[in-house]
Amino acid sequence: HTNILMLIGCCLETQIPILVFESVSSGILANYIHGPRPSHFKPFLLTNRLKIAMEIANALAYLHVGFPRPIVFKNIKLSSILFDEDHVAKLFDFSLAESIPDGETHIKDAIPIGIMGFVATEYVTTGDYNEKCDVFSFGVLLLVLLTGQKLYSIDEAGDRHWL
Protein backbone atom coordinates (compact mmCIF):
# COMPACT_ATOMS: atom_id res chain seq x y z
CA HIS A 1 0.00 0.00 0.00
CA THR A 2 1.43 3.39 -0.95
CA ASN A 3 0.76 4.86 2.50
CA ILE A 4 2.52 2.14 4.48
CA LEU A 5 6.32 2.11 4.68
CA MET A 6 7.42 -0.73 2.42
CA LEU A 7 9.35 -3.64 3.89
CA ILE A 8 12.07 -4.51 1.38
CA GLY A 9 13.62 -7.47 3.13
CA CYS A 10 14.86 -9.11 6.28
CA CYS A 11 18.40 -10.17 7.17
CA LEU A 12 18.37 -13.39 9.19
CA GLU A 13 22.15 -13.78 9.34
CA THR A 14 22.47 -11.82 12.58
CA GLN A 15 21.55 -12.73 16.14
CA ILE A 16 18.58 -10.37 15.95
CA PRO A 17 16.80 -10.19 12.57
CA ILE A 18 17.24 -6.84 10.81
CA LEU A 19 14.33 -5.41 8.83
CA VAL A 20 15.12 -3.30 5.77
CA PHE A 21 12.58 -0.67 4.74
CA GLU A 22 12.30 1.71 1.81
CA SER A 23 14.24 4.92 2.22
CA VAL A 24 12.26 8.04 3.02
CA SER A 25 13.87 11.40 3.52
CA SER A 26 11.36 14.10 4.36
CA GLY A 27 10.90 13.57 8.09
CA ILE A 28 8.08 12.70 10.46
CA LEU A 29 4.73 14.40 10.99
CA ALA A 30 5.59 15.35 14.58
CA ASN A 31 8.43 17.56 13.31
CA TYR A 32 6.22 19.19 10.69
CA ILE A 33 3.75 20.30 13.34
CA HIS A 34 5.66 20.63 16.62
CA GLY A 35 9.32 20.21 15.74
CA PRO A 36 12.14 22.70 16.15
CA ARG A 37 11.29 24.18 12.77
CA PRO A 38 7.62 23.33 12.16
CA SER A 39 6.57 23.31 8.52
CA HIS A 40 10.11 24.00 7.29
CA PHE A 41 9.72 21.72 4.26
CA LYS A 42 6.85 23.65 2.70
CA PRO A 43 3.85 25.61 3.99
CA PHE A 44 1.65 23.34 6.05
CA LEU A 45 -1.66 24.48 4.63
CA LEU A 46 -5.05 22.98 5.39
CA THR A 47 -4.98 21.19 2.03
CA ASN A 48 -1.71 19.48 3.03
CA ARG A 49 -3.19 18.47 6.39
CA LEU A 50 -6.31 17.04 4.73
CA LYS A 51 -4.16 15.11 2.24
CA ILE A 52 -2.20 13.57 5.12
CA ALA A 53 -5.43 12.68 6.93
CA MET A 54 -6.78 10.94 3.83
CA GLU A 55 -3.54 9.04 3.24
CA ILE A 56 -3.39 7.73 6.80
CA ALA A 57 -7.12 6.89 6.76
CA ASN A 58 -6.50 4.85 3.59
CA ALA A 59 -3.58 3.02 5.23
CA LEU A 60 -5.68 2.14 8.28
CA ALA A 61 -8.62 1.01 6.14
CA TYR A 62 -6.23 -1.27 4.25
CA LEU A 63 -4.96 -2.80 7.50
CA HIS A 64 -8.49 -3.27 8.83
CA VAL A 65 -10.16 -4.78 5.74
CA GLY A 66 -7.41 -5.70 3.27
CA PHE A 67 -6.48 -9.02 4.88
CA PRO A 68 -8.36 -12.17 5.88
CA ARG A 69 -8.10 -11.04 9.53
CA PRO A 70 -8.03 -7.36 10.53
CA ILE A 71 -4.67 -5.92 11.55
CA VAL A 72 -4.83 -3.32 14.30
CA PHE A 73 -1.99 -0.80 14.33
CA LYS A 74 -2.18 0.12 18.06
CA ASN A 75 0.37 2.93 17.72
CA ILE A 76 -1.18 5.85 15.85
CA LYS A 77 0.61 9.05 16.77
CA LEU A 78 2.40 11.95 15.08
CA SER A 79 5.76 10.20 15.21
CA SER A 80 4.40 7.07 13.45
CA ILE A 81 3.97 8.93 10.17
CA LEU A 82 6.86 9.54 7.77
CA PHE A 83 6.99 11.48 4.50
CA ASP A 84 8.73 10.42 1.32
CA GLU A 85 10.41 12.76 -1.17
CA ASP A 86 7.03 13.55 -2.76
CA HIS A 87 5.51 14.34 0.67
CA VAL A 88 3.35 11.21 0.63
CA ALA A 89 2.46 10.19 4.20
CA LYS A 90 3.48 6.67 5.19
CA LEU A 91 2.47 4.79 8.31
CA PHE A 92 5.39 3.01 9.99
CA ASP A 93 6.46 1.47 13.32
CA PHE A 94 4.43 -1.71 13.40
CA SER A 95 6.02 -2.78 16.69
CA LEU A 96 2.62 -2.97 18.43
CA ALA A 97 0.51 -4.08 15.44
CA GLU A 98 -1.33 -7.41 15.64
CA SER A 99 -3.82 -9.47 13.67
CA ILE A 100 -7.10 -10.08 15.44
CA PRO A 101 -7.23 -13.87 15.87
CA ASP A 102 -9.69 -15.97 13.89
CA GLY A 103 -13.09 -16.07 15.56
CA GLU A 104 -12.26 -13.13 17.85
CA THR A 105 -13.48 -9.53 17.70
CA HIS A 106 -10.59 -7.99 19.61
CA ILE A 107 -7.16 -8.49 21.11
CA LYS A 108 -6.92 -8.74 24.89
CA ASP A 109 -3.96 -7.04 26.57
CA ALA A 110 -3.37 -7.57 30.28
CA ILE A 111 -1.65 -4.19 30.47
CA PRO A 112 -2.84 -1.56 27.95
CA ILE A 113 0.00 0.14 26.10
CA GLY A 114 0.16 3.30 24.03
CA ILE A 115 0.58 7.05 24.14
CA MET A 116 -1.62 8.83 26.69
CA GLY A 117 -4.36 10.76 24.96
CA PHE A 118 -4.16 8.68 21.79
CA VAL A 119 -5.47 5.52 23.49
CA ALA A 120 -9.21 4.77 23.53
CA THR A 121 -10.82 4.81 26.97
CA GLU A 122 -12.42 1.39 26.53
CA TYR A 123 -9.00 -0.10 25.83
CA VAL A 124 -7.56 1.43 29.00
CA THR A 125 -10.46 0.15 31.12
CA THR A 126 -10.92 -3.33 29.59
CA GLY A 127 -7.68 -4.18 27.77
CA ASP A 128 -9.77 -5.01 24.68
CA TYR A 129 -8.36 -3.57 21.43
CA ASN A 130 -10.07 -3.68 18.03
CA GLU A 131 -10.33 -1.57 14.88
CA LYS A 132 -12.53 0.96 16.70
CA CYS A 133 -9.64 1.77 19.03
CA ASP A 134 -7.47 2.56 15.98
CA VAL A 135 -10.26 4.82 14.72
CA PHE A 136 -10.34 6.63 18.09
CA SER A 137 -6.57 7.18 17.89
CA PHE A 138 -6.95 8.40 14.32
CA GLY A 139 -9.57 10.91 15.53
CA VAL A 140 -7.10 12.26 18.08
CA LEU A 141 -4.47 12.46 15.33
CA LEU A 142 -6.96 14.43 13.21
CA LEU A 143 -7.61 16.86 16.06
CA VAL A 144 -3.91 17.56 16.48
CA LEU A 145 -3.24 17.60 12.73
CA LEU A 146 -6.05 20.00 11.86
CA THR A 147 -5.61 22.39 14.81
CA GLY A 148 -1.80 22.34 14.82
CA GLN A 149 -1.97 22.34 18.63
CA LYS A 150 -0.26 19.97 21.03
CA LEU A 151 -2.54 17.35 22.54
CA TYR A 152 -1.94 18.84 25.97
CA SER A 153 0.06 21.56 27.66
CA ILE A 154 1.48 21.76 31.16
CA ASP A 155 1.13 25.00 33.09
CA GLU A 156 3.51 26.51 35.66
CA ALA A 157 1.86 24.50 38.46
CA GLY A 158 2.50 21.27 36.57
CA ASP A 159 -1.17 20.72 35.71
CA ARG A 160 -1.96 19.14 32.36
CA HIS A 161 -4.52 20.87 30.11
CA TRP A 162 -5.96 18.80 27.25
CA LEU A 163 -6.81 20.17 23.82
Structural domains of the chain sorted by starting position, each given as residue range(s) with its CATH number in brackets: 7-162 (1.10.510.10)
Query: Helix, strand or coil for residue 116?
Result: coil
pLDDT of residue 163: 75
| Three-state SS sequence of 92-104 | CCCCCCEECCCCC
For the segment 10-62, what is each residue's pLDDT rounded down to a tens digit?
999 999 999 899 988 888 998 888 776 554 545 578 899 999 999 999 999 99
- The mean pLDDT of 122-127, rounded to a whole number, is 93
Q: Cα dihedral angle (140, 144, 149, 153), rounded to 10 degrees?
A: 30
Query: Helix, strand or coil for residue 127?
Result: coil
Q: Using 50, 70 and 90 to split pLDDT, how confident is the model at 155?
A: confident
Contact between 103 and 46 (Cβ < 8 Å): no
